[in-house]
């Protein structure tokens, strides 16, 4: 079965509060992550909430990378969506998790636009990563 795209939903726990509070740093991380994943960056926008938290979006030719942070919870919600097979979203995600100094990640890969005759659906694969122990 062919798929239109791959959507990665990442729950990053135990992130460094100082990093995920900083909109400028988050912007740098996501832009570098797009480059690491061989994505063609088109534009980006990041917003700093008061007193804490950042939301940001990088539009890439392949689709997008987004993040929403809750520094007081040391948590970041990350989405990486790509169409086609040219880019390397796994490298993008690995870079983001390392840069946020995340302790743990719950990742779901959703194969989007899976065609079955004239109907489109999706397939979900989920895994967890303990990033500090080295045990996936």
Output the domain CATH number for residue 49. 3.60.90.10
Conformational region of residue 34, where left means phi above 0, alpha means psi within -120 to 50, and beta covers everything else: alpha
pLDDT on residue 8 = 97
Segments forming the whole domain that contains residue 32: 5-115
Pairwise CA distance, residues 134 & 46, whole Å: 31
Asked if residue 123 belongs to a domain, the reply is no
Question: With a cut of 70, which residues of the chain have pLDDT below it?
Answer: 1, 133-136
pLDDT on residue 117 = 84
Asked if residue 20 belongs to a domain, the reply is yes
Catalytic residues: 63, 68, 83
Query: What distances in angstroms separate CA 126 from CA 10, 20, 129, one per listed residue?
Result: 10, 24, 10
pTM of the model: 0.90
Asked if residue 133 belongs to a domain, the reply is no
Q: How many domains does the chain contain in total?
A: 1
pLDDT on residue 56 = 97
Asked if residue 120 belongs to a domain, the reply is no
pLDDT on residue 135 = 47
Query: What distances in angstroms separate CA 20 from CA 23, 35, 63, 129, one per listed residue?
Result: 7, 20, 23, 19
């Amino acid at each position: 079965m062919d798929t239109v795209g791959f959507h990665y939903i990442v729950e990053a726990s135990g992130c460094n509060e100082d990093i995920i509070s900083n909109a400028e740093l988050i912007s740098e991380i996501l832009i570098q992550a797009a480059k690491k994943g061989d994505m063609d960056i088109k534009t980006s926008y990041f917003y700093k909430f008061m007193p804490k938290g950042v939301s940001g979006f990088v539009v890439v030719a392949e689709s997008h990378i987004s993040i929403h942070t809750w520094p007081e919870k040391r948590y970041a919600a990350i989405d990486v969506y790509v169409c086609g097979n040219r880019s390397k979203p796994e490298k993008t995600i690995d870079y983001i998790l390392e840069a946020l100094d995340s302790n743990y990640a719950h990742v779901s890969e959703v194969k989007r636009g899976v065609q079955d005759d004239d109907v489109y659906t999706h397939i979900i694969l989920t895994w967890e990563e303990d990033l500090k122990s080295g045990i996936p």
